[in-house]
Amino acid sequence: MQIKEIIDYLDLLYPLSLQEDYDNAGHKVGDATQQLTGILVTLDVTDDVIDEALASGFNLVVSHHPMIFAGLKSLVPTNTQTRMLNRLIKNDICVYSAHTNLDNLPGGVSFILGEKLGVRNLKTLKPMCPGKSKQQPVQTDANLVTAEQQPGGGAIGELDTPLPYRDFVERVKRVLQLPMIKCSTNPPSDVKCVALCGGSGSFLIDEAARQHADIYLTSDIKYHDYQKAVGTIHLADIGHYESEQFAQELIYNDIIKKFSNFACRITKAKTSYIQYI
Protein backbone atom coordinates (compact mmCIF):
# COMPACT_ATOMS: atom_id res chain seq x y z
CA MET A 1 0.00 0.00 0.00
CA GLN A 2 1.24 3.46 -0.86
CA ILE A 3 1.67 6.12 1.83
CA LYS A 4 -0.73 8.19 -0.22
CA GLU A 5 -3.65 5.99 0.86
CA ILE A 6 -3.15 6.95 4.51
CA ILE A 7 -2.77 10.59 3.56
CA ASP A 8 -5.99 10.57 1.53
CA TYR A 9 -7.80 9.00 4.49
CA LEU A 10 -6.43 11.58 6.95
CA ASP A 11 -7.36 14.41 4.57
CA LEU A 12 -10.94 13.11 4.63
CA LEU A 13 -11.04 12.77 8.42
CA TYR A 14 -9.36 16.10 9.12
CA PRO A 15 -10.44 18.38 6.24
CA LEU A 16 -7.78 20.92 5.36
CA SER A 17 -10.58 23.43 4.79
CA LEU A 18 -10.88 23.60 8.61
CA GLN A 19 -7.35 24.89 9.11
CA GLU A 20 -6.63 28.51 9.99
CA ASP A 21 -5.32 30.84 7.29
CA TYR A 22 -1.82 31.00 8.82
CA ASP A 23 -1.49 27.23 9.00
CA ASN A 24 0.27 24.72 6.72
CA ALA A 25 -1.22 21.34 7.61
CA GLY A 26 -1.28 18.28 5.38
CA HIS A 27 1.39 16.27 3.53
CA LYS A 28 4.45 18.50 3.25
CA VAL A 29 7.54 16.24 3.25
CA GLY A 30 8.55 13.17 1.25
CA ASP A 31 7.32 11.04 -1.63
CA ALA A 32 3.93 9.54 -0.82
CA THR A 33 4.01 7.10 -3.74
CA GLN A 34 6.40 4.89 -1.71
CA GLN A 35 5.15 1.69 -0.14
CA LEU A 36 4.21 2.27 3.49
CA THR A 37 6.46 0.53 6.03
CA GLY A 38 4.99 1.94 9.27
CA ILE A 39 3.54 5.03 10.94
CA LEU A 40 4.84 6.98 13.92
CA VAL A 41 2.43 9.46 15.54
CA THR A 42 3.81 12.47 17.42
CA LEU A 43 2.94 15.98 18.54
CA ASP A 44 6.20 17.43 17.18
CA VAL A 45 8.84 16.20 14.77
CA THR A 46 12.16 16.20 16.61
CA ASP A 47 15.49 14.42 16.09
CA ASP A 48 14.39 11.82 18.67
CA VAL A 49 11.26 11.14 16.64
CA ILE A 50 13.27 10.80 13.42
CA ASP A 51 15.69 8.43 15.23
CA GLU A 52 12.74 6.36 16.39
CA ALA A 53 11.19 6.20 12.90
CA LEU A 54 14.56 5.10 11.47
CA ALA A 55 15.14 2.48 14.18
CA SER A 56 11.64 1.10 13.59
CA GLY A 57 11.95 1.16 9.81
CA PHE A 58 8.86 3.42 9.54
CA ASN A 59 8.57 5.85 6.64
CA LEU A 60 5.57 7.96 7.66
CA VAL A 61 5.49 10.40 10.58
CA VAL A 62 2.10 11.91 11.40
CA SER A 63 2.51 14.99 13.58
CA HIS A 64 0.18 17.58 15.07
CA HIS A 65 2.51 20.55 14.60
CA PRO A 66 3.65 21.17 11.00
CA MET A 67 7.39 21.46 10.32
CA ILE A 68 7.07 24.15 7.66
CA PHE A 69 5.17 27.40 7.85
CA ALA A 70 5.38 30.28 5.40
CA GLY A 71 8.78 31.83 4.79
CA LEU A 72 11.07 28.82 4.34
CA LYS A 73 13.52 30.17 1.76
CA SER A 74 16.18 27.47 1.69
CA LEU A 75 16.76 23.81 2.54
CA VAL A 76 20.46 24.29 3.33
CA PRO A 77 20.90 22.49 6.68
CA THR A 78 22.00 25.47 8.76
CA ASN A 79 19.36 25.28 11.49
CA THR A 80 17.36 22.61 13.32
CA GLN A 81 14.37 22.84 11.01
CA THR A 82 16.26 22.51 7.71
CA ARG A 83 18.65 19.93 9.17
CA MET A 84 15.70 17.73 10.18
CA LEU A 85 14.03 18.24 6.79
CA ASN A 86 17.25 17.07 5.10
CA ARG A 87 17.41 14.01 7.38
CA LEU A 88 13.81 13.10 6.53
CA ILE A 89 14.24 13.50 2.78
CA LYS A 90 17.58 11.61 2.71
CA ASN A 91 15.91 8.74 4.55
CA ASP A 92 12.71 8.73 2.45
CA ILE A 93 10.47 9.56 5.41
CA CYS A 94 7.20 11.40 4.74
CA VAL A 95 5.63 13.83 7.19
CA TYR A 96 1.94 14.59 7.37
CA SER A 97 0.53 17.09 9.89
CA ALA A 98 -2.98 17.56 11.23
CA HIS A 99 -2.83 20.91 13.03
CA THR A 100 -5.52 23.59 13.30
CA ASN A 101 -7.80 21.40 11.15
CA LEU A 102 -7.65 18.91 14.04
CA ASP A 103 -8.03 21.73 16.59
CA ASN A 104 -11.17 22.97 14.85
CA LEU A 105 -12.68 19.52 14.38
CA PRO A 106 -15.63 18.57 16.59
CA GLY A 107 -14.25 15.70 18.64
CA GLY A 108 -10.72 17.05 18.05
CA VAL A 109 -7.89 18.18 20.32
CA SER A 110 -9.95 20.19 22.83
CA PHE A 111 -12.67 17.54 23.02
CA ILE A 112 -10.29 14.69 23.85
CA LEU A 113 -8.67 16.92 26.49
CA GLY A 114 -12.10 17.52 28.04
CA GLU A 115 -12.98 13.82 27.95
CA LYS A 116 -9.74 12.92 29.74
CA LEU A 117 -10.62 15.41 32.48
CA GLY A 118 -14.15 14.06 32.95
CA VAL A 119 -15.91 17.00 31.28
CA ARG A 120 -19.25 15.88 29.80
CA ASN A 121 -21.67 17.22 27.18
CA LEU A 122 -18.86 18.91 25.32
CA LYS A 123 -19.68 21.32 22.56
CA THR A 124 -17.59 23.71 20.50
CA LEU A 125 -16.73 26.85 22.44
CA LYS A 126 -16.64 29.16 19.43
CA PRO A 127 -18.05 27.75 16.17
CA MET A 128 -16.39 28.82 12.94
CA CYS A 129 -18.04 31.43 10.76
CA PRO A 130 -20.53 29.76 8.41
CA GLY A 131 -18.92 29.07 5.08
CA LYS A 132 -15.39 28.64 6.46
CA SER A 133 -15.73 24.87 6.30
CA LYS A 134 -16.37 23.91 2.71
CA GLN A 135 -16.04 20.23 3.48
CA GLN A 136 -17.88 18.44 6.27
CA PRO A 137 -15.74 16.21 8.51
CA VAL A 138 -16.17 12.47 8.10
CA GLN A 139 -17.83 10.97 11.17
CA THR A 140 -15.71 8.65 13.27
CA ASP A 141 -15.99 7.58 16.89
CA ALA A 142 -13.58 10.36 17.75
CA ASN A 143 -15.48 13.09 15.97
CA LEU A 144 -19.17 12.29 16.20
CA VAL A 145 -20.82 15.45 15.00
CA THR A 146 -24.06 16.56 16.58
CA ALA A 147 -25.98 19.72 15.92
CA GLU A 148 -24.18 21.39 18.83
CA GLN A 149 -20.75 20.26 17.74
CA GLN A 150 -19.87 22.59 14.92
CA PRO A 151 -16.28 22.98 13.70
CA GLY A 152 -14.55 25.73 15.63
CA GLY A 153 -12.23 26.65 18.47
CA GLY A 154 -12.10 25.13 21.94
CA ALA A 155 -14.77 23.18 23.83
CA ILE A 156 -17.05 23.72 26.79
CA GLY A 157 -18.89 21.25 28.99
CA GLU A 158 -19.67 20.28 32.56
CA LEU A 159 -18.44 17.96 35.26
CA ASP A 160 -20.98 15.37 36.43
CA THR A 161 -20.99 16.99 39.85
CA PRO A 162 -19.31 20.21 40.99
CA LEU A 163 -15.84 19.65 42.41
CA PRO A 164 -14.07 21.81 44.97
CA TYR A 165 -11.54 23.95 43.08
CA ARG A 166 -8.46 22.31 44.63
CA ASP A 167 -9.77 18.84 43.82
CA PHE A 168 -10.32 19.76 40.18
CA VAL A 169 -6.86 21.32 39.91
CA GLU A 170 -5.31 18.16 41.38
CA ARG A 171 -7.22 16.08 38.83
CA VAL A 172 -5.87 18.22 35.98
CA LYS A 173 -2.30 17.90 37.29
CA ARG A 174 -2.62 14.12 37.66
CA VAL A 175 -4.24 13.47 34.26
CA LEU A 176 -1.89 15.79 32.38
CA GLN A 177 1.18 14.78 34.43
CA LEU A 178 1.85 18.41 35.25
CA PRO A 179 3.91 19.42 38.29
CA MET A 180 2.27 22.86 38.39
CA ILE A 181 -0.42 24.99 36.80
CA LYS A 182 -0.21 28.76 36.37
CA CYS A 183 -3.60 30.09 37.50
CA SER A 184 -5.30 33.43 38.04
CA THR A 185 -5.71 34.72 41.55
CA ASN A 186 -9.23 34.53 43.06
CA PRO A 187 -10.22 30.97 42.12
CA PRO A 188 -13.86 29.83 42.21
CA SER A 189 -14.88 27.76 45.23
CA ASP A 190 -16.26 24.96 43.02
CA VAL A 191 -15.87 23.95 39.39
CA LYS A 192 -18.79 22.73 37.31
CA CYS A 193 -18.60 24.39 33.89
CA VAL A 194 -15.21 23.95 32.19
CA ALA A 195 -14.00 25.66 29.02
CA LEU A 196 -10.87 24.32 27.33
CA CYS A 197 -8.66 24.85 24.34
CA GLY A 198 -5.66 22.65 23.55
CA GLY A 199 -2.61 24.71 22.55
CA SER A 200 -2.53 28.52 22.43
CA GLY A 201 -6.06 29.55 23.37
CA SER A 202 -5.86 33.14 24.60
CA PHE A 203 -8.06 34.18 21.69
CA LEU A 204 -10.99 32.37 23.35
CA ILE A 205 -10.75 33.94 26.84
CA ASP A 206 -13.60 36.37 26.16
CA GLU A 207 -15.81 33.58 24.80
CA ALA A 208 -15.16 31.37 27.86
CA ALA A 209 -16.11 34.34 30.07
CA ARG A 210 -19.21 35.12 28.02
CA GLN A 211 -20.42 31.55 28.50
CA HIS A 212 -19.78 31.75 32.26
CA ALA A 213 -17.29 28.91 32.53
CA ASP A 214 -15.96 28.48 36.07
CA ILE A 215 -12.46 27.91 34.68
CA TYR A 216 -10.75 28.18 31.30
CA LEU A 217 -7.92 25.71 30.67
CA THR A 218 -5.51 26.50 27.85
CA SER A 219 -1.85 27.45 27.33
CA ASP A 220 0.48 30.29 26.35
CA ILE A 221 -1.50 32.81 28.43
CA LYS A 222 0.27 36.17 28.74
CA TYR A 223 0.52 38.23 31.92
CA HIS A 224 -1.84 40.90 30.62
CA ASP A 225 -4.37 38.27 29.60
CA TYR A 226 -4.60 37.38 33.29
CA GLN A 227 -4.99 41.07 34.06
CA LYS A 228 -7.83 41.51 31.57
CA ALA A 229 -9.62 38.41 32.87
CA VAL A 230 -9.90 39.68 36.44
CA GLY A 231 -13.52 39.53 37.53
CA THR A 232 -14.67 37.70 34.40
CA ILE A 233 -13.09 34.24 34.14
CA HIS A 234 -10.60 32.11 36.06
CA LEU A 235 -7.63 31.19 33.84
CA ALA A 236 -5.38 28.15 34.13
CA ASP A 237 -2.31 27.69 31.92
CA ILE A 238 -1.83 23.93 31.59
CA GLY A 239 1.13 23.95 29.18
CA HIS A 240 1.10 23.75 25.40
CA TYR A 241 2.45 20.21 25.08
CA GLU A 242 0.44 18.90 28.01
CA SER A 243 -2.82 20.37 26.73
CA GLU A 244 -2.35 18.75 23.32
CA GLN A 245 -0.69 15.47 24.26
CA PHE A 246 -3.86 13.41 23.73
CA ALA A 247 -4.01 14.49 20.08
CA GLN A 248 -1.51 11.67 19.51
CA GLU A 249 -3.96 9.11 20.87
CA LEU A 250 -6.78 10.58 18.80
CA ILE A 251 -4.78 10.34 15.55
CA TYR A 252 -3.47 6.87 16.41
CA ASN A 253 -6.99 5.54 17.12
CA ASP A 254 -8.33 6.99 13.87
CA ILE A 255 -5.52 5.35 11.87
CA ILE A 256 -5.70 1.87 13.39
CA LYS A 257 -9.49 1.82 13.09
CA LYS A 258 -9.08 1.78 9.31
CA PHE A 259 -5.56 0.36 8.85
CA SER A 260 -5.21 -2.20 11.61
CA ASN A 261 -2.83 -4.41 9.60
CA PHE A 262 -0.06 -1.79 9.46
CA ALA A 263 2.52 -1.04 12.10
CA CYS A 264 1.45 2.20 13.79
CA ARG A 265 2.36 3.57 17.18
CA ILE A 266 2.71 6.72 19.24
CA THR A 267 6.25 7.95 19.72
CA LYS A 268 8.00 7.09 22.97
CA ALA A 269 9.67 10.52 22.91
CA LYS A 270 8.28 13.34 25.03
CA THR A 271 8.74 16.07 22.46
CA SER A 272 7.97 19.09 24.65
CA TYR A 273 10.57 21.87 24.44
CA ILE A 274 9.78 22.94 28.01
CA GLN A 275 10.62 21.37 31.34
CA TYR A 276 9.52 22.33 34.85
CA ILE A 277 12.42 22.55 37.27
**Residue numbers at the binding site for Zn ion (CB under 5 A):** 199, 244
CB nearer Zn ion, residue 111 or residue 168: 111
CB nearer Zn ion, residue 109 or residue 183: 109
* Smallest distance, Zn ion to C-beta of residue 50, A: 19
Collapsing DSSP to helix, strand or coil, 128 comes out as coil
* Smallest distance, Zn ion to C-beta of residue 22, A: 13
Q: φ, ψ for residue 87 (rounded to 5)?
A: -60, -45
* Smallest distance, Zn ion to C-beta of residue 153, A: 13
Closest of 19, 42, 39, 27 to residue 272, by C-alpha: 42
- As a whole number of angstroms, the distance between CA 194 and CA 221 comes to 17
Residue 239 vs residues 26, 71, 218, 259: alpha-carbon distances, Å: 25, 27, 7, 32
Q: Where does 12-91 show beta strands of DSSP type E?
A: 26-29, 39-42, 60-63
CB nearer Zn ion, residue 107 or residue 199: 199
CB nearer Zn ion, residue 244 or residue 254: 244
**How many angstroms from the chain centroid is the CA of residue 2?**
26
Q: Which residue number places its CB atom closest to Zn ion?
A: 199
* Smallest distance, Zn ion to C-beta of residue 201, A: 10
* Smallest distance, Zn ion to C-beta of residue 216, A: 17
CB nearer Zn ion, residue 149 or residue 243: 243
Helical pair 109-116 and 247-258, crossing angle rounded to 10 deg: 110
- Containing 175, the helix (H) or strand (E) segment is helix 165-176
